[in-house]
Structure 1
Protein backbone atom coordinates (compact mmCIF):
# COMPACT_ATOMS: atom_id res chain seq x y z
CA UNK A 1 0.00 0.00 0.00
CA UNK A 2 1.18 3.52 -0.77
CA UNK A 3 1.86 5.43 2.46
CA UNK A 4 -0.26 8.57 2.36
CA UNK A 5 0.69 11.38 4.74
CA UNK A 6 -1.79 11.27 7.60
CA UNK A 7 -2.64 14.03 10.04
CA UNK A 8 -3.38 11.96 13.14
CA UNK A 9 -6.76 12.75 14.65
CA UNK A 10 -8.82 10.81 17.13
CA UNK A 11 -11.39 8.81 15.20
CA UNK A 12 -14.43 10.74 16.41
CA UNK A 13 -12.70 14.00 15.43
CA UNK A 14 -11.83 12.66 11.99
CA UNK A 15 -15.39 11.47 11.44
CA UNK A 16 -16.88 14.78 12.61
CA UNK A 17 -14.52 16.68 10.31
CA UNK A 18 -15.59 14.92 7.11
CA UNK A 19 -19.28 14.99 8.10
CA UNK A 20 -18.99 18.78 8.45
CA UNK A 21 -16.79 19.31 5.37
CA UNK A 22 -18.99 17.35 2.97
CA UNK A 23 -22.19 18.07 4.90
CA UNK A 24 -22.99 14.39 4.59
CA UNK A 25 -23.94 11.32 6.60
CA UNK A 26 -23.85 9.14 3.49
CA UNK A 27 -21.59 6.13 3.10
CA UNK A 28 -21.41 4.27 -0.19
CA UNK A 29 -20.76 0.56 0.06
CA UNK A 30 -18.28 -0.47 -2.62
CA UNK A 31 -19.56 -4.01 -3.17
CA UNK A 32 -18.60 -5.12 -6.69
CA UNK A 33 -20.91 -7.82 -8.05
CA UNK A 34 -19.60 -8.94 -11.42
CA UNK A 35 -22.94 -9.87 -12.95
CA UNK A 36 -24.40 -6.48 -12.02
CA UNK A 37 -21.46 -4.28 -13.05
CA UNK A 38 -21.74 -2.39 -16.36
CA UNK A 39 -17.98 -2.92 -16.89
CA UNK A 40 -15.77 -5.89 -16.01
CA UNK A 41 -12.86 -4.24 -14.24
CA UNK A 42 -13.54 -3.93 -10.51
CA UNK A 43 -11.08 -1.13 -9.83
CA UNK A 44 -12.18 0.93 -12.83
CA UNK A 45 -15.80 0.49 -11.76
CA UNK A 46 -14.97 1.65 -8.24
CA UNK A 47 -12.84 4.51 -9.54
CA UNK A 48 -15.67 5.89 -11.66
CA UNK A 49 -18.09 5.67 -8.71
CA UNK A 50 -15.59 7.40 -6.41
CA UNK A 51 -14.67 10.14 -8.87
CA UNK A 52 -18.34 11.02 -9.28
CA UNK A 53 -19.37 10.91 -5.60
CA UNK A 54 -16.42 11.81 -3.36
CA UNK A 55 -17.82 15.25 -2.54
CA UNK A 56 -21.16 13.73 -1.45
CA UNK A 57 -20.05 11.19 1.15
CA UNK A 58 -18.49 10.95 4.57
CA UNK A 59 -17.34 7.36 3.99
CA UNK A 60 -16.84 4.50 1.57
CA UNK A 61 -17.32 0.96 2.83
CA UNK A 62 -15.74 -1.83 0.77
CA UNK A 63 -17.00 -5.25 1.88
CA UNK A 64 -14.15 -7.76 1.90
CA UNK A 65 -16.29 -10.67 0.73
CA UNK A 66 -16.78 -9.26 -2.76
CA UNK A 67 -13.02 -8.81 -3.24
CA UNK A 68 -11.91 -12.05 -1.61
CA UNK A 69 -14.32 -13.98 -3.83
CA UNK A 70 -12.32 -12.75 -6.85
CA UNK A 71 -9.05 -14.08 -5.43
CA UNK A 72 -5.77 -12.20 -5.83
CA UNK A 73 -7.19 -9.98 -8.57
CA UNK A 74 -9.99 -8.88 -6.28
CA UNK A 75 -7.61 -8.04 -3.44
CA UNK A 76 -5.42 -6.05 -5.81
CA UNK A 77 -8.51 -4.14 -6.92
CA UNK A 78 -9.30 -3.41 -3.27
CA UNK A 79 -5.76 -2.17 -2.66
CA UNK A 80 -5.96 0.17 -5.65
CA UNK A 81 -9.42 1.32 -4.54
CA UNK A 82 -8.19 2.28 -1.06
CA UNK A 83 -5.22 4.15 -2.54
CA UNK A 84 -7.47 5.97 -4.98
CA UNK A 85 -9.86 7.19 -2.28
CA UNK A 86 -6.92 8.54 -0.29
CA UNK A 87 -5.55 10.30 -3.37
CA UNK A 88 -8.91 11.97 -4.04
CA UNK A 89 -9.64 13.03 -0.45
CA UNK A 90 -7.64 11.60 2.43
CA UNK A 91 -10.23 12.89 4.92
CA UNK A 92 -12.95 10.51 3.72
CA UNK A 93 -13.43 7.61 6.12
CA UNK A 94 -12.69 4.23 4.55
CA UNK A 95 -14.48 1.47 6.45
CA UNK A 96 -13.11 -2.01 5.85
CA UNK A 97 -16.20 -4.16 6.23
CA UNK A 98 -14.48 -7.34 7.36
CA UNK A 99 -16.52 -8.32 10.46
CA UNK A 100 -13.50 -10.00 12.00
CA UNK A 101 -14.03 -11.87 15.25
CA UNK A 102 -11.35 -13.93 16.97
CA UNK A 103 -9.15 -13.91 20.06
CA UNK A 104 -5.56 -13.51 21.18
CA UNK A 105 -2.79 -13.45 18.61
CA UNK A 106 -5.26 -13.99 15.78
CA UNK A 107 -7.20 -10.84 16.69
CA UNK A 108 -3.93 -8.89 16.91
CA UNK A 109 -2.93 -10.15 13.48
CA UNK A 110 -6.29 -9.13 12.02
CA UNK A 111 -5.93 -5.65 13.53
CA UNK A 112 -2.39 -5.35 12.18
CA UNK A 113 -3.52 -6.34 8.69
CA UNK A 114 -6.56 -4.08 8.57
CA UNK A 115 -4.95 -0.98 10.05
CA UNK A 116 -1.28 -1.24 9.10
CA UNK A 117 -1.37 -3.01 5.73
CA UNK A 118 -4.76 -1.99 4.36
CA UNK A 119 -4.67 1.36 6.20
CA UNK A 120 -8.42 1.51 6.80
CA UNK A 121 -9.69 4.39 8.90
CA UNK A 122 -12.28 2.09 10.46
CA UNK A 123 -13.36 -1.53 10.33
CA UNK A 124 -16.28 -3.71 11.35
CA UNK A 125 -15.92 -6.51 13.88
CA UNK A 126 -18.01 -9.27 15.42
CA UNK A 127 -17.70 -8.74 19.21
CA UNK A 128 -19.22 -12.10 20.19
CA UNK A 129 -15.97 -13.37 21.76
CA UNK A 130 -15.82 -10.50 24.26
CA UNK A 131 -13.32 -7.86 25.30
CA UNK A 132 -10.13 -9.72 24.41
CA UNK A 133 -11.37 -10.06 20.83
CA UNK A 134 -12.10 -6.31 20.62
CA UNK A 135 -9.13 -4.84 22.51
CA UNK A 136 -6.52 -5.36 19.75
CA UNK A 137 -8.63 -3.22 17.42
CA UNK A 138 -9.61 -0.39 19.78
CA UNK A 139 -5.98 -0.04 20.91
CA UNK A 140 -5.42 1.84 17.62
CA UNK A 141 -6.60 5.17 19.02
CA UNK A 142 -6.91 6.97 15.67
CA UNK A 143 -8.92 4.19 14.00
CA UNK A 144 -12.61 3.40 14.30
CA UNK A 145 -14.09 0.04 15.27
CA UNK A 146 -17.75 -0.64 14.49
CA UNK A 147 -19.12 -3.56 16.51
CA UNK A 148 -21.82 -5.53 14.70
CA UNK A 149 -24.62 -5.84 17.27
CA UNK A 150 -27.94 -5.85 15.37
CA UNK A 151 -27.97 -7.16 11.82
CA UNK A 152 -30.45 -6.13 9.13
CA UNK A 153 -31.53 -9.66 8.16
CA UNK A 154 -34.77 -11.19 9.55
CA UNK A 155 -33.10 -14.29 11.00
CA UNK A 156 -30.71 -12.20 13.10
CA UNK A 157 -33.37 -11.93 15.78
CA UNK A 158 -33.13 -15.67 16.48
CA UNK A 159 -30.02 -14.96 18.54
CA UNK A 160 -29.85 -11.18 18.87
CA UNK A 161 -33.31 -10.80 20.42
CA UNK A 162 -32.91 -13.57 22.99
CA UNK A 163 -33.43 -12.29 26.51
CA UNK A 164 -30.56 -12.80 28.92
CA UNK A 165 -30.69 -12.49 32.70
CA UNK A 166 -28.63 -9.70 34.23
CA UNK A 167 -27.99 -8.71 37.85
CA UNK A 168 -28.06 -12.30 39.05
CA UNK A 169 -31.26 -13.54 40.62
CA UNK A 170 -33.16 -10.24 40.48
CA UNK A 171 -34.91 -11.37 37.33
CA UNK A 172 -33.90 -8.35 35.24
CA UNK A 173 -33.33 -9.18 31.60
CA UNK A 174 -32.16 -7.55 28.38
CA UNK A 175 -32.16 -8.60 24.77
CA UNK A 176 -28.78 -10.07 23.87
CA UNK A 177 -28.03 -7.20 21.45
CA UNK A 178 -28.83 -4.68 24.22
CA UNK A 179 -26.53 -6.45 26.64
CA UNK A 180 -23.72 -6.45 24.06
CA UNK A 181 -24.10 -2.70 23.55
CA UNK A 182 -24.22 -2.06 27.29
CA UNK A 183 -20.94 -3.93 27.79
CA UNK A 184 -19.19 -2.70 24.64
CA UNK A 185 -19.54 0.99 25.45
CA UNK A 186 -17.72 0.38 28.74
CA UNK A 187 -14.61 -0.43 26.70
CA UNK A 188 -14.62 2.82 24.72
CA UNK A 189 -11.75 4.61 26.46
CA UNK A 190 -10.34 6.03 23.22
CA UNK A 191 -13.54 7.40 21.66
CA UNK A 192 -13.17 5.08 18.68
CA UNK A 193 -15.91 2.48 19.16
CA UNK A 194 -19.05 2.49 17.05
CA UNK A 195 -22.00 0.17 16.45
CA UNK A 196 -23.54 -1.51 13.41
CA UNK A 197 -27.34 -1.59 13.57
CA UNK A 198 -29.50 -2.40 10.55
CA UNK A 199 -31.96 0.15 9.16
CA UNK A 200 -34.57 -2.59 9.03
CA UNK A 201 -34.97 -2.34 12.83
CA UNK A 202 -35.58 1.33 13.74
CA UNK A 203 -37.03 0.48 17.17
CA UNK A 204 -33.89 -1.41 18.10
CA UNK A 205 -31.84 1.42 16.61
CA UNK A 206 -33.53 3.80 19.05
CA UNK A 207 -32.59 1.47 21.90
CA UNK A 208 -28.98 1.46 20.70
CA UNK A 209 -28.88 5.25 20.56
CA UNK A 210 -30.34 5.49 24.05
CA UNK A 211 -27.64 3.17 25.38
CA UNK A 212 -24.86 4.93 23.44
CA UNK A 213 -25.92 8.59 23.07
CA UNK A 214 -22.80 9.90 21.28
CA UNK A 215 -21.47 6.74 19.67
CA UNK A 216 -21.17 6.56 15.86
CA UNK A 217 -23.69 4.12 14.40
CA UNK A 218 -23.21 2.58 10.98
CA UNK A 219 -26.63 1.88 9.51
CA UNK A 220 -26.75 -0.56 6.56
CA UNK A 221 -29.88 -1.86 4.88
CA UNK A 222 -31.34 1.34 3.43
CA UNK A 223 -32.72 0.72 -0.05
CA UNK A 224 -32.23 -2.81 -1.31
CA UNK A 225 -33.02 -4.36 2.09
CA UNK A 226 -36.07 -2.11 2.56
CA UNK A 227 -34.66 -0.27 5.54
CA UNK A 228 -36.60 2.84 6.50
CA UNK A 229 -34.49 5.98 6.12
CA UNK A 230 -36.70 8.47 7.96
CA UNK A 231 -37.40 6.14 10.87
CA UNK A 232 -33.71 5.21 11.15
CA UNK A 233 -32.61 8.83 11.35
CA UNK A 234 -35.36 9.73 13.80
CA UNK A 235 -34.19 6.85 15.98
CA UNK A 236 -30.47 7.64 15.85
CA UNK A 237 -29.95 11.41 15.46
CA UNK A 238 -30.37 13.64 18.48
CA UNK A 239 -29.19 16.95 19.87
CA UNK A 240 -26.03 15.29 21.19
CA UNK A 241 -24.81 13.75 17.96
CA UNK A 242 -25.43 13.33 14.25
CA UNK A 243 -22.95 10.45 13.98
CA UNK A 244 -25.42 8.22 12.17
CA UNK A 245 -23.83 6.92 8.99
CA UNK A 246 -26.35 5.79 6.40
CA UNK A 247 -24.84 3.20 4.08
CA UNK A 248 -26.21 2.48 0.63
CA UNK A 249 -24.60 0.04 -1.78
CA UNK A 250 -26.63 -1.53 -4.56
CA UNK A 251 -29.15 1.32 -4.72
CA UNK A 252 -26.34 3.61 -5.88
CA UNK A 253 -23.83 1.31 -7.57
CA UNK A 254 -26.29 -0.50 -9.81
CA UNK A 255 -28.82 2.21 -10.53
CA UNK A 256 -27.89 2.00 -14.22
CA UNK A 257 -26.47 -0.74 -16.42
CA UNK A 258 -25.58 1.70 -19.20
CA UNK A 259 -22.41 3.64 -19.96
CA UNK A 260 -23.78 6.60 -18.04
CA UNK A 261 -23.75 4.64 -14.76
CA UNK A 262 -21.30 7.04 -13.03
CA UNK A 263 -23.63 9.99 -13.69
CA UNK A 264 -26.70 8.07 -12.53
CA UNK A 265 -24.82 6.88 -9.43
CA UNK A 266 -24.00 10.50 -8.61
CA UNK A 267 -27.63 11.50 -9.09
CA UNK A 268 -28.81 8.73 -6.75
CA UNK A 269 -26.16 9.60 -4.15
CA UNK A 270 -26.96 13.31 -4.34
CA UNK A 271 -30.68 12.66 -3.91
CA UNK A 272 -30.10 10.38 -0.92
CA UNK A 273 -27.70 12.85 0.69
CA UNK A 274 -30.24 15.64 0.26
CA UNK A 275 -33.03 13.49 1.70
CA UNK A 276 -30.85 12.69 4.71
CA UNK A 277 -30.06 16.39 5.20
CA UNK A 278 -33.72 17.36 5.07
CA UNK A 279 -34.69 14.77 7.68
CA UNK A 280 -31.76 15.59 9.98
CA UNK A 281 -32.54 19.32 9.84
CA UNK A 282 -35.81 18.62 11.66
CA UNK A 283 -34.08 16.63 14.41
CA UNK A 284 -31.20 18.83 15.63
Structure 2
Protein backbone atom coordinates (compact mmCIF):
# COMPACT_ATOMS: atom_id res chain seq x y z
CA UNK A 1 0.00 0.00 0.00
CA UNK A 2 1.07 3.56 -0.70
CA UNK A 3 0.58 6.90 1.03
CA UNK A 4 1.51 10.37 -0.12
CA UNK A 5 4.40 10.52 2.34
CA UNK A 6 5.69 7.09 1.28
CA UNK A 7 5.67 8.22 -2.36
CA UNK A 8 7.53 11.40 -1.41
CA UNK A 9 10.20 9.31 0.33
CA UNK A 10 10.49 7.02 -2.68
CA UNK A 11 11.03 9.95 -5.03
CA UNK A 12 13.60 11.58 -2.78
CA UNK A 13 15.51 8.33 -2.31
CA UNK A 14 15.61 7.46 -6.03
CA UNK A 15 15.96 11.09 -7.21
CA UNK A 16 13.42 10.69 -9.98
CA UNK A 17 9.75 11.50 -10.64
CA UNK A 18 9.56 9.40 -13.80
CA UNK A 19 6.49 7.35 -14.60
CA UNK A 20 7.05 5.10 -17.62
CA UNK A 21 3.96 4.77 -19.80
CA UNK A 22 3.54 1.28 -21.21
CA UNK A 23 1.45 2.34 -24.23
CA UNK A 24 2.66 -0.60 -26.28
CA UNK A 25 1.73 -0.62 -29.96
CA UNK A 26 2.44 -4.03 -31.55
CA UNK A 27 3.14 -2.31 -34.87
CA UNK A 28 6.08 -0.45 -33.28
CA UNK A 29 7.74 -3.41 -31.59
CA UNK A 30 11.22 -4.01 -33.07
CA UNK A 31 11.16 -6.53 -35.91
CA UNK A 32 13.65 -8.91 -34.28
CA UNK A 33 11.07 -9.77 -31.57
CA UNK A 34 9.03 -12.60 -33.06
CA UNK A 35 6.26 -15.01 -32.07
CA UNK A 36 2.57 -14.61 -31.30
CA UNK A 37 1.23 -11.17 -30.43
CA UNK A 38 1.20 -12.13 -26.75
CA UNK A 39 4.81 -13.32 -26.90
CA UNK A 40 5.95 -10.21 -28.74
CA UNK A 41 4.20 -7.70 -26.47
CA UNK A 42 5.23 -9.49 -23.28
CA UNK A 43 8.86 -9.76 -24.36
CA UNK A 44 8.86 -6.08 -25.29
CA UNK A 45 7.16 -4.97 -22.07
CA UNK A 46 9.33 -7.05 -19.77
CA UNK A 47 12.48 -5.87 -21.54
CA UNK A 48 11.41 -2.23 -21.12
CA UNK A 49 10.63 -2.81 -17.43
CA UNK A 50 13.97 -4.54 -16.80
CA UNK A 51 15.78 -1.67 -18.51
CA UNK A 52 13.95 1.21 -16.81
CA UNK A 53 12.98 0.15 -13.29
CA UNK A 54 16.13 1.70 -11.80
CA UNK A 55 15.25 5.08 -13.28
CA UNK A 56 11.54 5.39 -12.45
CA UNK A 57 9.17 5.17 -9.52
CA UNK A 58 5.98 4.30 -11.40
CA UNK A 59 4.52 2.59 -14.45
CA UNK A 60 1.32 3.65 -16.18
CA UNK A 61 -0.46 1.15 -18.41
CA UNK A 62 -2.82 2.76 -20.92
CA UNK A 63 -5.55 0.14 -21.14
CA UNK A 64 -6.69 1.23 -24.62
CA UNK A 65 -3.58 -0.25 -26.21
CA UNK A 66 -4.44 -3.63 -24.67
CA UNK A 67 -8.20 -3.50 -25.17
CA UNK A 68 -7.50 -2.93 -28.88
CA UNK A 69 -5.97 -6.43 -29.00
CA UNK A 70 -9.25 -8.03 -27.91
CA UNK A 71 -9.53 -10.77 -25.31
CA UNK A 72 -5.84 -11.59 -25.61
CA UNK A 73 -4.99 -7.98 -24.90
CA UNK A 74 -6.70 -8.20 -21.53
CA UNK A 75 -4.53 -11.21 -20.70
CA UNK A 76 -1.42 -9.27 -21.70
CA UNK A 77 -2.56 -6.34 -19.55
CA UNK A 78 -3.07 -8.64 -16.57
CA UNK A 79 0.27 -10.42 -16.99
CA UNK A 80 2.17 -7.14 -17.47
CA UNK A 81 0.66 -5.74 -14.26
CA UNK A 82 1.43 -8.98 -12.41
CA UNK A 83 5.02 -8.95 -13.71
CA UNK A 84 5.59 -5.42 -12.41
CA UNK A 85 4.17 -6.15 -8.99
CA UNK A 86 5.93 -9.52 -8.59
CA UNK A 87 9.34 -8.19 -9.62
CA UNK A 88 9.19 -4.51 -8.58
CA UNK A 89 6.57 -4.18 -5.86
CA UNK A 90 7.99 -0.85 -4.71
CA UNK A 91 6.88 0.75 -7.98
CA UNK A 92 3.54 2.57 -8.12
CA UNK A 93 1.26 1.05 -10.77
CA UNK A 94 -1.37 3.14 -12.56
CA UNK A 95 -4.21 1.93 -14.76
CA UNK A 96 -4.76 4.69 -17.28
CA UNK A 97 -8.35 3.66 -17.96
CA UNK A 98 -10.18 7.02 -17.68
CA UNK A 99 -13.29 5.40 -16.26
CA UNK A 100 -16.28 7.35 -14.95
CA UNK A 101 -19.73 6.05 -14.10
CA UNK A 102 -22.23 5.79 -11.27
CA UNK A 103 -23.10 3.29 -8.54
CA UNK A 104 -22.71 -0.40 -9.26
CA UNK A 105 -20.84 0.26 -12.51
CA UNK A 106 -18.12 2.26 -10.75
CA UNK A 107 -17.88 -0.43 -8.08
CA UNK A 108 -17.34 -3.07 -10.79
CA UNK A 109 -14.57 -1.00 -12.34
CA UNK A 110 -12.92 -0.66 -8.93
CA UNK A 111 -13.17 -4.40 -8.37
CA UNK A 112 -11.63 -5.13 -11.78
CA UNK A 113 -8.57 -2.94 -11.33
CA UNK A 114 -8.04 -3.20 -7.56
CA UNK A 115 -9.13 -6.76 -6.78
CA UNK A 116 -8.66 -8.73 -9.98
CA UNK A 117 -5.56 -6.79 -11.03
CA UNK A 118 -2.86 -5.31 -8.77
CA UNK A 119 -3.15 -1.62 -9.65
CA UNK A 120 -2.45 1.07 -7.08
CA UNK A 121 -4.40 3.78 -8.90
CA UNK A 122 -6.74 4.44 -11.79
CA UNK A 123 -7.42 7.54 -13.88
CA UNK A 124 -11.02 8.80 -13.75
CA UNK A 125 -13.19 11.33 -15.53
CA UNK A 126 -14.86 13.78 -13.10
CA UNK A 127 -17.68 14.74 -15.48
CA UNK A 128 -20.40 12.75 -13.67
CA UNK A 129 -19.51 14.03 -10.21
CA UNK A 130 -18.03 13.11 -6.86
CA UNK A 131 -20.21 10.04 -6.29
CA UNK A 132 -18.62 8.36 -9.32
CA UNK A 133 -15.17 8.62 -7.71
CA UNK A 134 -16.13 7.45 -4.21
CA UNK A 135 -16.10 3.69 -5.10
CA UNK A 136 -12.41 4.03 -5.98
CA UNK A 137 -11.41 5.47 -2.61
CA UNK A 138 -9.70 2.70 -0.68
CA UNK A 139 -6.91 2.63 1.86
CA UNK A 140 -3.59 2.47 0.02
CA UNK A 141 -5.17 3.18 -3.38
CA UNK A 142 -5.51 6.44 -5.31
CA UNK A 143 -8.15 7.83 -7.63
CA UNK A 144 -6.49 10.05 -10.26
CA UNK A 145 -8.97 12.65 -11.52
CA UNK A 146 -8.58 14.36 -14.89
CA UNK A 147 -8.29 18.07 -14.13
CA UNK A 148 -6.33 19.73 -16.94
CA UNK A 149 -5.33 17.35 -19.71
CA UNK A 150 -2.45 17.75 -22.17
CA UNK A 151 -4.44 17.59 -25.43
CA UNK A 152 -5.36 20.68 -27.46
CA UNK A 153 -9.07 19.99 -26.93
CA UNK A 154 -8.66 20.63 -23.20
CA UNK A 155 -9.48 24.27 -23.94
CA UNK A 156 -12.97 23.29 -25.14
CA UNK A 157 -14.19 22.82 -21.56
CA UNK A 158 -11.44 22.67 -18.95
CA UNK A 159 -10.18 26.24 -19.50
CA UNK A 160 -13.61 27.79 -19.93
CA UNK A 161 -14.64 30.25 -17.18
CA UNK A 162 -17.53 29.41 -14.88
CA UNK A 163 -20.00 31.93 -13.46
CA UNK A 164 -17.50 33.06 -10.84
CA UNK A 165 -14.79 33.56 -13.45
CA UNK A 166 -12.76 30.52 -12.44
CA UNK A 167 -11.98 28.02 -15.20
CA UNK A 168 -13.65 24.63 -14.96
CA UNK A 169 -10.41 22.80 -14.12
CA UNK A 170 -10.05 24.93 -10.97
CA UNK A 171 -13.56 24.01 -9.87
CA UNK A 172 -12.63 20.34 -10.33
CA UNK A 173 -9.50 20.79 -8.22
CA UNK A 174 -11.35 22.66 -5.47
CA UNK A 175 -14.34 20.32 -5.32
CA UNK A 176 -12.41 17.06 -5.27
CA UNK A 177 -9.54 18.19 -3.02
CA UNK A 178 -12.07 19.44 -0.46
CA UNK A 179 -13.73 16.03 -0.42
CA UNK A 180 -10.74 13.68 -0.68
CA UNK A 181 -7.41 13.84 1.10
CA UNK A 182 -3.80 13.63 -0.05
CA UNK A 183 -3.75 9.85 0.52
CA UNK A 184 -6.89 9.29 -1.58
CA UNK A 185 -6.78 11.34 -4.74
CA UNK A 186 -4.39 12.76 -7.34
CA UNK A 187 -4.93 15.04 -10.33
CA UNK A 188 -3.90 14.80 -13.99
CA UNK A 189 -2.30 18.06 -15.15
CA UNK A 190 -0.83 18.41 -18.64
CA UNK A 191 2.71 19.75 -19.01
CA UNK A 192 1.62 21.40 -22.27
CA UNK A 193 -0.08 24.12 -20.21
CA UNK A 194 3.24 25.56 -19.07
CA UNK A 195 3.02 27.90 -16.08
CA UNK A 196 -0.58 26.90 -15.35
CA UNK A 197 0.99 23.83 -13.75
CA UNK A 198 2.30 26.17 -11.07
CA UNK A 199 -1.23 27.47 -10.51
CA UNK A 200 -2.47 23.91 -10.11
CA UNK A 201 0.22 23.23 -7.52
CA UNK A 202 -0.79 26.32 -5.55
CA UNK A 203 -4.43 25.19 -5.51
CA UNK A 204 -3.65 21.62 -4.38
CA UNK A 205 -0.33 21.90 -2.50
CA UNK A 206 -0.65 18.53 -0.76
CA UNK A 207 -2.03 16.31 -3.53
CA UNK A 208 -0.02 14.39 -6.10
CA UNK A 209 -0.05 15.42 -9.75
CA UNK A 210 0.25 12.99 -12.65
CA UNK A 211 1.70 14.97 -15.53
CA UNK A 212 1.57 13.81 -19.15
CA UNK A 213 2.68 15.88 -22.13
CA UNK A 214 6.46 16.08 -21.59
CA UNK A 215 8.63 15.16 -24.56
CA UNK A 216 6.81 14.21 -27.76
CA UNK A 217 3.82 16.43 -26.91
CA UNK A 218 6.06 19.44 -26.34
CA UNK A 219 6.10 20.00 -22.59
CA UNK A 220 9.46 20.96 -21.08
CA UNK A 221 10.68 18.60 -18.37
CA UNK A 222 12.70 20.99 -16.19
CA UNK A 223 10.11 23.77 -16.33
CA UNK A 224 7.35 21.32 -15.47
CA UNK A 225 9.37 19.84 -12.63
CA UNK A 226 10.06 23.23 -11.05
CA UNK A 227 6.40 24.23 -11.34
CA UNK A 228 4.98 20.97 -10.00
CA UNK A 229 7.16 19.90 -7.06
CA UNK A 230 5.62 20.21 -3.61
CA UNK A 231 7.34 21.67 -0.55
CA UNK A 232 9.03 18.33 0.11
CA UNK A 233 10.61 18.33 -3.35
CA UNK A 234 8.29 15.56 -4.56
CA UNK A 235 4.52 15.26 -5.11
CA UNK A 236 4.53 14.57 -8.82
CA UNK A 237 4.79 11.84 -11.44
CA UNK A 238 5.99 12.98 -14.83
CA UNK A 239 4.92 10.46 -17.44
CA UNK A 240 6.91 9.57 -20.55
CA UNK A 241 5.76 6.92 -22.99
CA UNK A 242 6.83 7.08 -26.63
CA UNK A 243 10.12 8.84 -25.93
CA UNK A 244 11.22 5.83 -23.85
CA UNK A 245 9.39 2.91 -25.45
CA UNK A 246 10.51 3.72 -28.97
CA UNK A 247 13.89 5.31 -28.30
CA UNK A 248 15.23 2.70 -30.76
CA UNK A 249 13.52 0.33 -33.19
CA UNK A 250 16.50 -2.03 -33.29
CA UNK A 251 17.95 -4.73 -31.03
CA UNK A 252 19.31 -2.09 -28.66
CA UNK A 253 15.79 -0.79 -27.90
CA UNK A 254 16.06 -1.67 -24.21
CA UNK A 255 19.45 0.01 -23.84
CA UNK A 256 18.11 3.10 -25.60
CA UNK A 257 15.05 3.06 -23.33
CA UNK A 258 17.28 3.00 -20.25
CA UNK A 259 19.29 5.97 -21.54
CA UNK A 260 16.09 7.92 -22.25
CA UNK A 261 14.69 7.10 -18.81
CA UNK A 262 17.91 8.07 -17.00
CA UNK A 263 17.56 11.63 -18.30
CA UNK A 264 14.64 12.16 -15.90
CA UNK A 265 16.79 11.74 -12.80
CA UNK A 266 17.41 14.90 -10.78
Structure 1 length-normalised TM: 0.87
CA distance in 2, matches of 1:69, 1:20: 37
Measure, in 2, the Cα distance between the counterparts of 1:78 and 1:61: 11
Hey, what does 2:224 align to over in structure 1? 232
Distance in 1 (CA, whole Å) between partners of 2:2 and 2:221 is 28
1:20 paired residue among 3, 12, 16:
12
**Alignment partners' CA distance in 1, 2:121 and 2:20:** 14
Q: Distance in 2 between matches of 1:81 and 1:134?
A: 25
Q: Secondary structure of 1:149's partner?
A: strand
Q: Which runs of 5+ in 1 are unaligned?
A: 1-8, 166-171, 278-284
1:62 has 2:61 as partner = yes
1:49 paired with 2:44, answer no
Report the CA distance between 1:240 and its aligned residue. 4.2
Q: What are the equivalent positions in structure 2 for 1:47-196 lying under 5 Å apart?
A: 47-138=46-137, 140-165=138-163, 172-189=164-181, 191-196=183-188
CA–CA separation in structure 1 for the residues paired with 2:45 and 2:17: 20
SS of the residue corresponding to residue 98 of structure 2 reads: strand
2:252 pairs with one of 249, 253, 260? 260
Q: Deviation per CA, 1:149-178, whole angstroms, max 9, x where unpaired?
A: 11111111111111112xxxxxx3210011
CA distance in 2, matches of 1:135, 1:149: 17
Pairwise CA RMSD of aligned residues?
1.4
- 1:23, distance to aligned residue in structure 2 (A): 2.5
Distance across 2 between alignment mates of 1:151 and 1:183: 17
Q: Deviations over 1:258-280 (max 9, x none)?
A: 01101110011112x23xx1xxx
Confirm or deny that 1:212 pairs with 2:211. Answer: no
Q: Secondary structure at the match of 2:157?
A: helix
Structure 2 length-normalised TM:
0.93
Q: Is the 8 A contact 2:12 2:233 kept in 1?
A: no
- The number of equivalent residue pairs is 259
